[in-house]
Chains A and B, each alone.
Chain A
Amino acid sequence: MSIAPALYWLPENPGWRSAAQDFRKSPTWAAAVALADARLDFVRTDMLDGLVRDAFQDAPQAEAAASVRLAVLGSSTLTHLMAGIRVAALRRGVHLTTYEGDYGQYRQALNDADSGLGAFNPTAILFAFDPWHVTAGIHPGLTTKDVDLLFDSVTETIAACWRTARENFGCAILQQTILPTFAPLLGSNEQRLAGSRAGFVRRLNAWLSAQSRAQGVELVALDERAAADGLDAWHDPALWYRSKQEISPAAAPIYGELVVRVLAALQGRSRKCLVLDLDNTIWGGVVGDDGVDGLVLGQGSALGEAFTAVQTYARDLAARGVVLAVCSKNDEANAFEAFDRHPEMVLRRGDIACFAVNWSDKAANLRAVAGELNIGLDSLVFLDDNPAERDLVRRELPMVAVPEIGDDPALYPRTIADAGYFESTGVTDDDRERTRQYRGNRQRDAARETATDMPSYLKGLEMRMLWRPFDRVGLARIVQLINKTNQFNLTTRRYTEKQVSDLMTDPRALTLQIRLIDTFGDNGIVAIVIGRLVGNTLEIDTWLMSCRVLGRQVEAATLNLIAEQALKMGAARLMGEYRPSAKNGMVRDHYRKLGFADIGADSAGHAKSMRDLSDFAPLESFIAIEEG
C-alpha cells in the first residue's frame, strides 16, 4: 500500500465537509480560498474544484488576487491532474483556468493556428512529457552512438517546443522533469548501459536542469519530489497500463502545488518573510524560566542539534533572500540576551530584520512586523511550536501561512521546505542583500522619527540615484521586478527575459534601471522604466518602483531623468498610462501628481495623460542623479 503524498503542513479542518455544503448554498470567493487552505486529499480537491467551477466560471475580478491561464501540453492522460492545479492556485487566492492539449498532440497544439490554444491565450504553458514518450526507441541493444543520436533528437524536439511556445505565445514556460518510472537493468551503475531507459531518463533530467535557465524555462522537479515521497506515491504502473495516467490521481494535490508554486514565484507571489517564535521553536526551553544557560541548543544533545539545524536552515534561507523576523512572547531583554550571549546561537541579532518580542498577542505582533517591514501579511510565514498560538493566528489572520510543524524540531526544516512557501526561480544580488536592505529601511525609519522635519530627513540621507539602460548584468533582476511588482506598477505589463533583452537593442526604446544609494546603504535596483518613442511622443510603457522607497522623492527624480532622456531622443512630450489592476490603486493619481494632464481613457479603460516637455523644469528633490 503506497502512501499518497499529503499536504501535511496545512491544517486538518474537521468542519470541512459541512463548510463545503455551506459554500454550495452561498458561494463566496473568500470561502472557496478558505476551503482550499486545508489538508485536502484528491477526492476533496476534486470536490472543491467542482463546486468552485460551478460557482465561478469567470475570475471574480474584485476578489481574486490574479487570473492565470495555464495550458498543459503533454504526452499522456492529464485530465485528472487539472483540479489539483486549479485548487493549488485557489489556495493562493488566484483564479486559474486550464487548457488541456489533446492526448499527445502537443506539437499540433503549438503550431496549428486552429488548435484552440491561440484562442485560450495562455499566460503560461507547462510541458508534461511522460517517460515512455521521451524514451521511445531506446533499448539495451543500441550502441552508444545510436543512443546519442536519439538523445539529440529528443532534446531538440523539447527545445523546439520551448522556442515555438515563446515565439507564438510569448508566455511563461514551465517544463516538468521526467519521472524515473523504469526498472533498472544493471542496478547502481545503470548509466554504464547506454541503451537503458532508466539511464536515459536520468540523462534527460540532467539536460533539462542544465538547459532550462538559458532557454528561459522554469522546471517543475517531479523527479526530486518523487524521490523524497517514494515513487510509489506518485506512480502506479497498473494505472499507466489501464488509463495512461503517468501520475496517480492521489498525487494530484501535491502535483498542483509544485506547478502553482513556480507560477507564483514568477508572479512575485511567493512568501517573503519567515517569522520565528523563539522558545521551543528555535531553541529548546523557555528563556524567561530556564535562563540563557539552561537553553537546549547546539552540540551535546540530539534535541539541541535539531534546534541548531532549524536556525541554520533559517539563516540559509535569509542568505538567499528570505527576510527573517521574530515574534515571541518574552521580555525583550531575555530574548536579546540569548541572541547575544548563547555561544551556540547560529542566528545573530543582525540576521533578524525585525523583532516583535513582548506580551501582546501574536496576531497584533505579526501585523506590526508586516507594517514595519512594509510588506503584506500575505508575505509572512509564521513558525510556532504552540498549536494554540497557531490556531489563533490562523483565525485572526488567515492570509498568514502557519505550517503544522508538529513538536519535533528535527522535522521543521523539511516541513518549511515541503510547504514551498518561498519558491524562487533564481537568486539575484539584491536577494542576497535583502536582510541588510530591510535593516537599512528600519534605520531610515528611525532616522525619520528623530528628524525634526521631512526635508531635513531626506537631505540627511544623501541619496544618489544611479541609472543605466538595461544591460546583461541587470537582466535577471529587471525581469524579476517586471514580473513581480504589483503595487507601484502603472501598467503591470509582464515581459519575458527574451522580450526584455530585445529592448536593449531597440533604438526607439528608452530603458532605465534605477538604483538608490543613501547613507544607510545600497537599496539595490528600485525602479524600472520602459519608454517607446512614437512620433515625437515618448510613451511610458512601464514604470514601476519598489514600495520600499516610497516617500523618498524617487518618483520626482525618475521623472526628471525620463524627461532628460526623452529630450535627448527627440521627444516633445511624454505620455503616461495607468492600467488599473486589483493591486495598483496606490498609483492611480501618479501622473496627475507629477503634472501630467489627463487626456481620457482608451477603449480598454486605460487612463492616458500627457506632459509637454517644451517648458519642462525639473521637479525638486534631494536626490542626485548620476549615470553609472
Chain B
Amino acid sequence: MTEAEIYAGLTELLRDLFLRDDLVATPTLTAPDVPGWDSLKQINVIIAAEQRFGVKFSSREIESFEDVGSLARTILDRLG
C-alpha cells in the first residue's frame, strides 16, 4: 500500500468519524485542529484505522501518535 493510499483512506475515515466532508488527512493534522477530536474520539480514530488497514497498534505506538503523520508512518511501516 502506498503512502498516498493510506492518506486517502485516513481522509475518508476522518470524514466519517467527524461528519465533515472538508477534512483532509495531512501529516501535520492534529487533534486540536478538528473540533470534537477529544480523547474518546482519538481512540475511535485509532481503532477505525486498525480495522481499515488490518493492523494492530501496540500500546507504545498508540502513545506516540502526535499527528496524522505519525499514524500514517506506523501504518506504512507495518504494511511496507
Contacts and interface: CB of A to CB of B under 8 A. Distances in A.
Interface of A: 1-2, 4, 17, 21, 41-44, 46-47, 50-51, 77, 79-80, 238-239, 241-243, 245, 248-250
A21 B19 CA distance: 10
B51 interface: yes
B2 interface: no
Contacts, number: 49
Contacts of B44: 42-43, 46, 80, 249
B13 to A, nearest CB: 7
Contacts of A50: 19
A51 B17 contact: no
A242 B40 contact: no
Contact of B43 (A4, A41, A47, A239): A239
A238 B48 contact: no
Contacts of B21: 21
Given A1-B54, A41-B51, A250-B51, A245 B43 contact: yes
Nearest to B63: A242
B47 A42 contact: yes
A385 B55 CA distance: 33
14 contacts: A1-B55, A21-B21, A41-B48, A42-B44, A47-B16, A47-B17, A51-B19, A77-B40, A79-B40, A238-B59, A243-B39, A249-B43, A249-B47, A250-B47
Interface residues of B, number: 18
A43 B17 contact: yes
In the A-B complex, the 10 residue pairs with the closest CB atoms? A1-B56, A238-B59, A43-B48, A47-B16, A43-B16, A50-B19, A250-B47, A249-B47, A249-B44, A43-B17
B55 A238 contact: no
Interface in B31-80: 39-40, 43-44, 47-48, 50-51, 54-56, 59, 62
Contacts of B19: 47, 50-51
A47 B23 CA distance: 15
B48 A80 contact: no
Given A238-B59, A239-B43, 11 more contacts: A1-B55, A17-B16, A41-B48, A43-B16, A43-B51, A47-B16, A80-B43, A241-B59, A243-B43, A248-B47, A249-B47
A243 B40 contact: yes
A21 to B, nearest CB: 8
Interface of B: 13, 16-17, 19, 21, 39-40, 43-44, 47-48, 50-51, 54-56, 59, 62
Contact of A42 (B48, B54, B56, B59): B48
A242 B62 contact: yes
A46 B17 contact: yes
B47 A1 contact: no
Nearest to B48: A43
Contacts of A1: 50, 54-56
Contacts of B39: 243
A63 to B, nearest CB: 23
A43 B50 contact: no
A599 B79 CA distance: 75
A44 B40 CA distance: 16
A212 to B, nearest CB: 31
Contacts of A249: 43-44, 47
Given A43-B17, A47-B19, A238-B59, A4 B51 contact: yes
A44 B47 contact: no
B56 A2 contact: yes
Nearest to A239: B43
A564 B43 CA distance: 66
A256 to B, nearest CB: 15
B56 to A, nearest CB: 4
Contacts of B62: 238, 242
Contacts of A46: 17, 44
Nearest to B12: A17
A242 B42 CA distance: 11
Nearest to B58: A238
A241 to B, nearest CB: 8
A4 B44 CA distance: 13
Contacts of A80: 40, 43-44
Contacts of B13: 43
B59 A44 contact: no
Nearest to A2: B56
A40 to B, nearest CB: 11
A2 B47 CA distance: 11
Nearest to A251: B47
Nearest to A51: B19
Nearest to B21: A21
A110 B21 CA distance: 41
A490 B59 CA distance: 58
Nearest to A79: B40
A184 B59 CA distance: 22
B71 to A, nearest CB: 15
Interface centre among B13, B19, B56 (most CB of A within 10 A): B19
Interface centre among A2, A21, A248, A249 (most CB of B within 10 A): A249
A268 B47 CA distance: 36
B27 to A, nearest CB: 22
A46 B43 CA distance: 13
B36 to A, nearest CB: 10
Contacts of B55: 1
Contacts of A239: 43
Contacts of B56: 1-2
A245 B46 CA distance: 14
B15 to A, nearest CB: 9
A51 B56 CA distance: 29
B80 to A, nearest CB: 16
A173 to B, nearest CB: 28
Contacts of B59: 238, 241-242
Contacts of A243: 39-40, 43
A166 B56 CA distance: 43
A215 B47 CA distance: 38
A46 B17 CA distance: 7
A448 to B, nearest CB: 55
